[in-house]
Amino acid sequence: MLDIQVPDFLEPVVNTFRYAPLAIQVAMVFIIIASLGTLLAYYSILRSRYRGYQRDKKLAFLHPKIDNLIIEEVLTNPTLLKDDVPVAHVQLNLEPFQELPLHKKWAREVLTERIIHFRRNVRGNMGELLRNLYLQLELDKDTMKKMRSGHWEKKVQALVEFTSMDMSIADVTILPLTNSRNRELRAAARHAYIKLSKNEPFKFFDVVTEPLLMWDQVELFRIITTTQNIAIPNFARWITYSANKSVVSFCLKLVVHYNQLPAVPAIVKLLETKDHYLRADAINCLGKLRVPDAEDKLIVMYSSQPLHCQIEILKAVGRISSGRHVDFLKQEFLHSTDFDLRKNAAKSLVKNEWTAKQVLEELLATANAENLRILKHCMNPLIKY
Amino acid sequence: MSKILLVEDDEIMPKIVARILPPSEYELDHVSNGKEAFEKLEATNYDYDLIITDIMMPYANGFEILSRVKSPDREKTIPVIIVSNAGNEDMIMEGFKLGADDFLKKPIIPAELLIRVKRLLMKNK
Amino acid sequence: MSGILETLGRIYESTLFVYGMVLLLVYAMLALLSMLAVRRYAKRDNYHQLDILSSSPLAPGITILAPAFNEGLTIISNVRSLLTLNYPRFEIVLINDGSTDDTMQQLIEEFKMVTVDFAYNEKIRTQPVRKIYKSTDPAYSSLLVIDKINGKSKADATNAGINVASFNYFVCTDVDCILDKNTLLELIKPVMQEAHKRVIAVGATLRIANSCEFDEGVMTRMRPPKQLLPRFQEVEYIRSFVLGKMGWSYINCVPNVSGGLGLFDKEIAIRSGGYDHSSFGEDMELLTRMCRYAHDNHVNYSVRYIPKSLCWTEAPSTLKIFNRQRTRWARGLAQLMHAHFNMFLNPRYGKMGMIIFPFNFFFELLAPIIEFTGIIVYIVLAVMGKINWPYALLLLLFVYTYAIMITTISILWDQLTFRYYKTWKEVVYLCMTPFMEFLFYHPLIVIYALRGYYYFLTGKKSAWGNMQRQGFGKKK
């Protein structure tokens, strides 16, 4: 053992340690580690709370100032009232903004965030003028710097800022990122690409091999449906050729949103797919597009389908409401053994009410207690589902 | 002078709306949730010419405001514009079913809001 | 004779030593895993804007199930706060479990409810449903009220709710819990972000509501409980959720989604048979059965936890009610271990059988027993004068400091990511609590747990059949 000079008051502790069994030695070491660990934790809590407090204070000071400046200089800008001046060329009065500590990076960041917040509420001329402010204060330089950073978080932040500000970025910069191994970065790059690319915004649909998560779909859907001046392609292309099921399923939702009737043949073809989840999606899509021609095919395939596809078919017949298949619905309602099938058949009958009035009355008069309750359930306007 | 009540829980939106609707023509009151809206409406005996409201808000949402304002027991009906970022058709339909007169999606276009406000106020004269 | 005793003593001693060391190591591991999990969550959370989902037509529908029994004092404001949750597609199913007060009457009047002919399909058997109500006011069209005969358990009431639920996911909560307005968005997020696995349940951090301020069902100010007993529970909850559940979540080994708030996959829940009304820990029991069902049917599943606090619940503030609650929990755990014991170290059930179950068995179920016997042995030895006091005290000090460190670390994770509470005084207050926990709070838990096991073994009828929170102080 090494002979280290220990202070007198520690002598008994050291002696105890030296002659103690292993368990006690371990315990003694851990007492010290645990005490230090606890102290370190206290320090970290203190530090993080102090920092948070500082930040809140700064923001509380900065936000009202920024808001006032934006309102005075941008939102009440006289050029907004004139129709003939192209907003893109308006030079804003930047002088008042000097009262903000813009030489500090964090202040510029707060300002950018705030401009984005404003732009989430307002577009049109005011939106463009807010963009002018961002450019004329050269805040885009910060964004560009973040874009070149090695940290994925910074890159994502930059992409979000660029897309929010409608800034164009070169394809060569974004495209490689759309296949990044980092999920967040990849998603942000795709959004940016769709929104900002001048050429083929949907190009990555062709190459994406990983499944599009439900969350990704929500974000993509939002970007696609809210971007102006975007050329919407015929999504049938991917419904037919894409090997990625999530892309196909997502395209079906877009087809419904844009009511793309030319895609119908591709969707009908998709009914033959072996994946019954995808098939259910296709049936759902045909119903929402209200394609009467698809009805016959759906009814022919009905009996060989798994339950959830059968339910989708019943729903589709209700949505299409051509009135041609009231008998089919009636049969299902009366004779199906599954509760959900009967309920959905009844619902669709009610949706076909314009032609099935008589059938419904007849059923109301003759149905057994349970079926009667199902019918009344479906006919009650207070019940949604 | 038209009295307008804006119900909105975002802090920035009221500032924007206040700039879009010139104060010389519109008297704009702002509350930030459904509960405050009801208090304000009760206090002024529903003396507003127009209500602009968001949908998702704490205490009472836009639907409840609509349902109360458009209730058949009210002698005077106040036109209501929904301004929301809802992209969900169900929600928009719900709003119209409850008697909403117009719907604007965020981000709004200032000129559009102004025109729609003017039109509704004209119609209700 | 004395030779045998000595050997037995040695064996006992070394088993205990190994047991203790493993437990400490597990906690160290959880501290590490939870740090990774919480950091990963916080980092990504920045980039997933909730308002995109809250305005999306693609948001999956969610049914909220809220069972109520004699909640007349708070029912209206609580339903109102549920109605204003931030989510584009949800329904609220309120189950009035045969209340004997005016709960039902208040609901009918306030929300203009009328009875409807509802096609009720009893997928899970429950006590009979008397009537189903919907509102005539379209503003409340998402509200549905089930009036059923009292089933003497939260499980039975919730099952009736599952039977009418229209959507594929349901969120289970207590009607007197206060939810964050973004609860649904936060809970569905992990489901939507999982690529290859089916997320069958998601839970979030629960906290104690006792000293928080509320205004008509909306929280306006978060505070650690002022009373000591609830404050102990707040600390315990932070440790159990932020450190425990998050750590387990990182390796997909979540043992339980708390009954106060959890989102579940409806299909799997129904196929597993729903909540068990005879269970004393119905939340953990259901999750165990769901995992079991998933294993048996080769569903590649996962259970997730998020470190955000989304739900505030009233904690027992008197020893009497606290005793009831913990006795009940312990009894539920013993029941569960007994019923599913064939999963124990059964490789067929993967992590469930090899990690979660053994952990729960050794360190949740057996811990109180081992601690208790340990104390008895100590007392005996002390009487016989065979204790080396300095060593004993050192060992005690070791356990004490270690426990404090673990708890403080969980408070740290919680503070680093979300900076809950307004003032630093409140945080200091909270950080001091672990020092007393070991001396005052922990012994109580051990005793109540043993009581629960005793009731389990003797099969004592429970006199407090209705939902466990009955008798809690009501908040205005």
- Output the pLDDT for position C388: 83
Neighbouring subunits of C (3+ Cβ pairs under 8 A): A, B
Going by C-alpha positions, the residue among C460, C196, C409, C209 that lies closest to residue C310 is C209
Q: What is the pLDDT along chain A (385 residues), one digit of tens a residue?
A: 455 666 777 787 777 777 878 878 888 899 999 999 999 999 999 999 999 999 999 999 999 999 999 988 888 888 777 766 777 778 888 888 888 888 999 999 999 999 999 998 888 888 889 999 999 999 999 999 999 988 888 999 999 999 889 888 888 888 888 888 888 898 888 888 888 877 778 888 888 888 889 999 998 998 888 887 788 899 999 999 999 999 999 999 999 999 999 999 999 999 999 999 999 999 999 999 998 888 999 999 999 999 999 999 999 999 999 989 999 999 999 999 999 999 999 999 999 988 888 999 999 999 899 999 999 999 999 998 8
Mean pLDDT for all residues in chain C: 90
Neighbouring subunits of A (3+ Cβ pairs under 8 A): B, C
Chain B residues with CB under 8 Å of A118 CB are 12, 16
User: pLDDT-based confidence at B119, cuts 50/70/90?
Assistant: very high
Q: What is the pLDDT of residues C323-356, one digit of tens each?
A: 999 999 999 999 999 999 999 999 999 999 999 9
pTM score of the predicted model = 0.92
CA distances from A139 to A111, A122, A168, A207 (A): 9, 20, 15, 34
- Cis omega (within 30 of 0) on the bond before B107? yes
Chain C residues with CB under 8 Å of A45 CB are 411-412, 415-416, 427, 431
The count of structural domains within chain B is 1
Cβ-proximal residues to B6 (8 Å cutoff; 6+ apart), any chain: B13, B14, B17, B28, B29, B30, B31, B51, B52, B53
Asked if residues B4 and B27 have their Cβ atoms less than 8 Å apart, the reply is yes
Asked if residues A271 and A313 have their Cβ atoms less than 8 Å apart, the reply is no
Interface test with B, best of C50, C55, C136 (most B CBs within 10 A): C55
Asked if residues A70 and A100 have their Cβ atoms less than 8 Å apart, the reply is no
**Does a structural domain hold residue C465?**
no
Give the domain extent around B116. 2-123
Chain A residues with CB under 8 Å of C119 CB are 339, 343, 370, 373-374, 376-378
Q: What is the DSSP string of C360-412?
A: IIIIIIHHHHHHHHHHHHHHHHHHHT---HHHHHHHHHHHHHHHHHHHHHHHH
ipTM of the modeled complex: 0.89
State the smallest CA–CA distance between residue C88 and chain B in angstroms. Answer: 7
Report the run of H or E that residue C68 belongs to, with start and end: strand C62-68
The count of structural domains within chain C is 1
Going by C-alpha positions, the residue among A342, A22, A35 that lies closest to residue C435 is A35
Give the domain extent around C56. 31-358
Report d(CA A215, CA C189) in Å as an integer: 7
Report d(CA C5, CA C8) in Å as an integer: 5
Tokens 């808001």, located at residue: A67
Helix (H, G, I), strand (E, B) or coil at A306: coil
For the beta carbon of residue C251, count every other beta carbon within 10 angstroms: 14
**Does a structural domain hold residue C433?**
no
Cβ-proximal residues to C359 (8 Å cutoff; 6+ apart), any chain: C26, C255
Q: Dihedral (C-alpha) A182, A188, A192, A194: value to the nearest 10 degrees?
A: 90
| Cβ-nearest to B12 among A80, A121, A222 | A121
Q: Residue C213: beta bridge partners?
A: C221
Cβ within 8 Å, pair B106-A120? yes
**Does a structural domain hold residue C370?**
no
Flag the least confident range among B83-97, C128-142, C235-249, C263-277.
B83-97
CATH number at residue B34: 3.40.50.2300
Tell me how far apart the 2 most distant CA atoms of chain A are, in Å.
Answer: 104
**Does a structural domain hold residue C249?**
yes
Going by C-alpha positions, the residue among C387, C220, C210 that lies closest to residue C315 is C210
Asked if A376 is an interface residue toward chain B (Cβ–Cβ < 8 A), one would say: no
Q: Closest residue of B to A81, CA-based?
A: B111
Report d(CA A20, CA A33) in Å as an integer: 18
Structure tokens at C67: 């069972």
- Tell me what the mean pLDDT of segment C14-40 comes to: 92
Asked if A13 is an interface residue toward chain C (Cβ–Cβ < 8 A), one would say: no
Cβ within 8 Å, pair A27-C48? no
C379-383 own/partner pairs: CB under 8 Å, 24+ apart: none
Cβ within 8 Å, pair B16-A122? yes
Asked if residues C312 and C219 have their Cβ atoms less than 8 Å apart, the reply is yes
The length of chain C is 476
Asked if C137 is an interface residue toward chain B (Cβ–Cβ < 8 A), one would say: yes
CA distances from C231 to A307, C160, C335, C427 (A): 51, 35, 29, 12
For the beta carbon of residue A366, count every other beta carbon within 10 angstroms: 10
Chain A residues with CB under 8 Å of C142 CB are 384
pLDDT above 60 for C67: yes
Q: What is the pLDDT of residues B73-111, one digit of tens each?
A: 888 889 999 998 876 777 888 899 899 999 998 889 888
Cβ within 8 Å, pair C139-B58? no
Report d(CA B105, CA B103) in Å as an integer: 7
| Cβ-nearest to C416 among A30, A48, A214 | A48
Q: What is the pLDDT of residues C166-216, one digit of tens each?
A: 999 999 998 888 999 999 999 999 999 988 899 999 999 999 999 999 888
Chain B residues with CB under 8 Å of C88 CB are 86, 88, 90-91
Interface test with A, best of C398, C399, C400, C410 (most A CBs within 10 A): C398
Cβ-proximal residues to C445 (8 Å cutoff; 6+ apart), any chain: C326, C368
Cβ within 8 Å, pair C218-B86? no
Chain A residues with CB under 8 Å of C402 CB are 30, 34
**β-pair type (B2-7, B26-31):** parallel
Asked if B70 is an interface residue toward chain C (Cβ–Cβ < 8 A), one would say: no
CATH number at residue C293: 3.90.550.10
DSSP letter for A215, please: H
Chain B residues with CB under 8 Å of A71 CB are 15, 19
Asked if A355 is an interface residue toward chain C (Cβ–Cβ < 8 A), one would say: no
CA distances from A213 to A217, A280, A283, C191 (A): 6, 18, 21, 9
**β-pair type (C129-135, C113-116):** antiparallel
Class of residue C11 by CB neighbours under 10 A (exposed 0-12, middle 13-18, buried 19+): exposed
Q: What is the DSSP string of A324-356?
A: TTHHHHHHHHHH-S-HHHHHHHHHHHHHTHHHH
Chain A residues with CB under 8 Å of B85 CB are 120
The length of chain A is 385
Report d(CA C304, CA C245) in Å as an integer: 9
pLDDT above 90 for C120: yes
Report d(CA C199, CA A246) in Å as an integer: 17
| Cβ-nearest to C88 among B63, B64, B86 | B86
Going by C-alpha positions, the residue among C109, C311, C434 that lies closest to residue A41 is C434
The strand order across the sheet containing C261-265 reads C113-116, C129-135, C143-148, C90-97, C62-68, C169-173, C261-265, C198-208, C301-313, C178-179
CA distances from A373 to A344, A376, C428 (A): 13, 5, 60
Asked if C49 is an interface residue toward chain B (Cβ–Cβ < 8 A), one would say: no
The length of chain B is 125
The CA-based angle B75-B81-B84, given to 5 degrees, is: 140
Interface test with A, best of C43, C47, C193, C391 (most A CBs within 10 A): C47
Angle C282-296/C319-339 helices, nearest 10 degrees? 20
Chain C residues with CB under 8 Å of A221 CB are 56-58
